Amino acid sequence: MNIAFTFRQMEATDAVRAYTTDKIDKLQKFVRNPIRGEVKISSEKRANTAEIDIHAGPQHFHAHDTQEDMYASIDSVIDKLERQMRTQHEARIKKGGDRASDHLLPDAGDE
């Protein structure tokens, strides 16, 4: 997993990096390829914005959110990414399952 961080108008803290990295690490279960991520975190007055891009092979996921609390903003973005990844993951499983079940049906000529 390779994650690049960009902090705008705030100091880069190890706590925010570690928190975000741990959250993104939990998303790996939804994709087959290793995750490459870009995290942009900015603070302007009372608005804390988190923006995350995730690349996993040919798949791309993006989410952003602005809230008063930085950690709440990160959690919200991770929830959005998880929703996107879960939807795509379930669609891939369903599609694969449909193809597998087609092979289990007897042909009309075999009866």
* pLDDT at residue 76 in the model: 96
In a domain? residue 56: yes
Q: What is the pLDDT of residues 37-91, one digit of tens each?
A: 999 999 998 899 999 999 988 889 999 999 999 999 999 999 999 999 988 888 8
Residue 83 resides in a domain: yes
Measured CA to CA in angstroms, residue 74 lies from 59, 62, 103, 105 at distances of 21, 13, 44, 47
Range of the domain at 51: 2-101
35: in domain: yes
Question: Is the residue at 8 inside a domain?
Answer: yes
pLDDT grade, residue 101 (50/70/90)? very low
On whether residue 109 sits in a domain, the answer given is: no
111 assigned to some structural domain: no
Query: What is the number of domains present in the chain?
Result: 1
| Domain CATH code at residue 26 | 3.30.160.100
Tokens of 27: 């998303």
> Global pTM?
0.79
**Which pLDDT score is estimated for 65?**
95
Task: Compute and round to an integer the Cα radius of gyration of the chain.
Answer: 19
**SS3 sequence, 51-81?**
EEEEEECCEEEEEEEEECCHHHHHHHHHHHH
